Amino acid sequence: MTKKSNDVILSVRGIQKSFGKQHVLRGVDFDVHRGEVVCLIGASGSGKTSLLRCMNLLMEPDQGEILIEGAPLFRRNGRERLRLSSSKVSAVRIKTGMVFQSFNLFPHRTALENIIEAPIVVKKVPRADAEAQARELLSRMGLPDAGNKYPSQLSGGQQQRVAIARALAMQPTIMLFDEPTSALDPELVGEVLAAIRQLAAEGMTMVIVTHEIGFAYELADRVVFMDQGVIAADGPPRELLLSGDNARLAAFVSRFTEQARLLSPLVAAADASSIATPSKDSKSWPT
């Protein structure tokens, strides 16, 4: 893909993080360029979610440096430490939009109120403008009629799409996704992946922690494999996922390819039937 530019949006350097004796991040260097879609993969406990939460300082690293569009968000080198007021941190942090595994919508607010909350309270956008933007975002997420519904009245897939709209409402320059489909019923995964795919097509810069290897393979400009708190492999998905250079990565991927191989007769059968009956419009939104 060629949409990647040399413009670095997010840069982390030498990130270290421990929980007690557990050293979850052991010196991670990582850059994201404008328009780039990076998928973070790795086994549970490899540090990928911790790394993502460090990127917008939701989790404070023990060591290292974080820059977002050149603005420092965190720096700590031994005892020397950059001191930022919480409003300064917040001003840099809101350049990132974040989507969580468990959605984390505000349950006492409707979908629309969830989306307009931060623009009104944090950015002081006039209510009418915020609502107009929210309605447009809901339409883009394929949920034009969900505005007045409470999160409990929406399916998991719908909630996650509202959560994406809520993050987009702050007009972030980079979106961070923390296993956005892991809490969903299997039949609802597709609609959320479709929404993310659409964002990628619009050129949004994204970092996605995911277990959907197929999705990473299809969508990512770059796949980063985390293992035991470090970046163990980093490259374009085709080269990275198909090469056997890194034994642990090969083992990690082989579980998915094994599954794909087992399912291949189904794929062949589905292909055969879709030739017989033309497939439905694949651009339409599942609901």
Nearest to 207 by CA among 68, 92, 55, 58: 55
Helix (H, G, I), strand (E, B) or coil at 93: helix
Choice between 152 and 284, CB closer to another protein: 152
**Contact between 87 and another protein (CB under 8 A)?**
yes
Helix (H, G, I), strand (E, B) or coil at 183: coil
**Contact between 183 and another protein (CB under 8 A)?**
no
Single out the segment in contact with another protein by CB under 8 A; choices: 23-31, 106-114, 236-244, 272-280. 106-114
Q: Pattern of binders to another protein over 148-167, x per CB under 8 A?
A: ------------------xx
Distance between CA 115 and CA 130 in Å, rounded? 8
Q: Are the C-beta atoms of residues 25 and 47 closer than 8 Å to each other?
A: yes
Helix axes 111-121, 127-140, angle to 10 degrees: 130
**Contact between 117 and another protein (CB under 8 A)?**
yes
Contacting residue, 98, 168, 223, 249, with another protein by CB under 8 A: 98
Q: Are the C-beta atoms of residues 170 and 123 closer than 8 Å to each other?
A: yes
Single out the segment in contact with another protein by CB under 8 A; choices: 2-10, 21-29, 120-128, 223-231. 120-128
**Contact between 94 and another protein (CB under 8 A)?**
yes
Choice between 36 and 113, CB closer to another protein: 113
Single out the segment in contact with another protein by CB under 8 A; choices: 65-73, 97-105, 225-233, 246-254. 97-105
Choice between 97 and 237, CB closer to another protein: 97
**Contact between 85 and another protein (CB under 8 A)?**
no
**Contact between 86 and another protein (CB under 8 A)?**
yes
**Contact between 127 and another protein (CB under 8 A)?**
no
Contacting residue, 8, 170, 230, 232, with another protein by CB under 8 A: 170
Q: How far is CA 77 from CA 26, 36, 89, 182, in A?
A: 14, 29, 18, 35
Read off φ and ψ for residue 204, nearest 5 degrees.
-65, 135
Contacting residue, 43, 58, 84, 232, with another protein by CB under 8 A: 58
Helix (H, G, I), strand (E, B) or coil at 78: coil
Q: Which residue has the tokens 């447009």?
A: 136
For residue 91, what is the enclosing H or E element? helix 86-93
Residue 205: DSSP 8-state: E
Give contact residues for another protein (rule: CB under 8 A): 56, 58, 86-87, 90-91, 93-94, 96-98, 100, 102, 104-108, 117-118, 121-123, 166-167, 170
